[in-house]
Amino acid sequence: MTAPAALLKSIQSSVAGLTLAGLLAQHPELARRTVQRWLSQWSREGQITASGEGRARRYAAPALPAPASAIASPDRFPPHIPLSADSRDILAYVDQPLQARKPVGYQRDFLDAYQPNVSGYLPESLRRQLHNMGRTAQAHEAAGTYSRAILNRLLIDLSWASSHLEGNTYSRLDTVELIEQGRAARGKAAIETQMILNHKTAIELLVESAVSAGSAGLSRYLLMNLHSALAENLLPNPSDEGRIRQHAVDIGQSVYRPLSTPQQIDEMLEVLLRKLGAIADPFEQSFFAMVHLPYLQPFADINKRTSRLAANLPLFRANLCPLTFLDVPEQAYSRATLGVYELTRVELLRDLYVWAYERSTQEYLAIKQELAEPDPTRLAYRELIKQTIREVVQHPHADALAAIAQAMEQVPRADRDDVQALVVQELRRLHEGVLARYGLRPSELSAWNAAQHSL
């Protein structure tokens, strides 16, 4: 049996599919680049399917055609999500075999034709509907108030649901334990744990950006750092984290070929961000990010994850319910993005966006009225509290009480006791799941704990 035939047989024999690392482990005699080339070719030809992104991408044999009597194939767009006639037209096209779809490259006219606050992907009536669904009691408070108030719940829901769309097998309970207790699930790949933790860090970055004074939206700086947070320790080349793509990429199971020249990508990203920042309505802004960031593919990988989180920033700033992607099926999301990639049409993604947002708001309706008011002292001195905790933990052998007392000199005398009590309280419940909030590393927490136990 030839080497390509043996490799293809390994894929076809696997029930759950194999990652590139798994294939190389089974066939150590083959060069990585050679295997990657064969996988890309077989994917284009439809001999295999590819799902997920980066190191988590799995290759499997194509599903057998469903019998005519079948109600619905698990690999088909879920029938319970309502679609317009235009969306069904897009779906009919992207459901064709690769060979029947016309190869297409990046269409600059797609972005150039969009005029902020004039064109609009979401009709005014639909935007009103979304506003009614997502309105919260904090609508008229400072930007980011609501997202900060629901942060603990948001970190779990959005981290889990967005990772699930990438093939992550963590359960929601696993995610809760990882985020709240810093405890990785047994039997899960390290890449899955890293993906969840990266989401947590990225969401915290977004929420902090939403409440920061002078933060006007998705700047280039914020986008790059958002991608860097999501990509940490997940890309083959770490220098690709938070950096414009330097090479061509293929889109799995698609005939779409994005731009390959870094200068062109950079130019179009500037146009994209300028137009994004000019959009007045938060939902239009959110949906625009979900359409154009993946379409441009500005990064070497992890573009869709970046767009899903970026789409939440306008909602955070407007104190609207977040878009968590809970219960969004991967096969629905992938087909909707294919419609954008290959046809530059947004109707299918728009129908999915509206359905997904309604699901998200239903999850949060119950907690809208139950939110405790943020502690005003904690809110007023949050940066000082963070800085003090970081300073104390990073100097485990120094006098912690003296360091705290010195920091309190910046606080008006009337508030010192309360702020000092908050710092001590936070130090007592410090654990791995909240380290990013303070800019700390697990090794620093370990050194701090060891120093306390030695006293």
Strand partners, 19: 58
Does 308 belong to an annotated binding site?
yes
User: Number of helices (H) and strands (E), helices first, in the chain?
Assistant: 23, 5
- Which long-range contacts does 120-125 make (Cβ < 8 Å, 24+ apart)? 120/284, 121/284, 121/287, 121/288, 121/291, 121/346, 121/350, 122/281, 122/283, 122/284, 122/287, 122/350
Question: Six-digit token pair at 373?
Answer: 């008011």
Residues 53 and 253 sit within 8 Å (Cβ to Cβ): no
124 contact partners, CB below 8 Å, separation of at least 6: none
Does 386 belong to an annotated binding site?
no
Strand partners, 126: none
Does 359 belong to an annotated binding site?
no
Strand partners, 200: none
Coil, strand or helix at 236: coil
Does 102 belong to an annotated binding site?
no
Does 172 belong to an annotated binding site?
no
CA distance 420 to 408: 7
Does 404 belong to an annotated binding site?
no
451 contact partners, CB below 8 Å, separation of at least 6: 396, 397
Q: Which residues are annotated as a binding site?
A: 301-308
Q: Which residues are annotated as a binding site for ATP?
A: 301-308
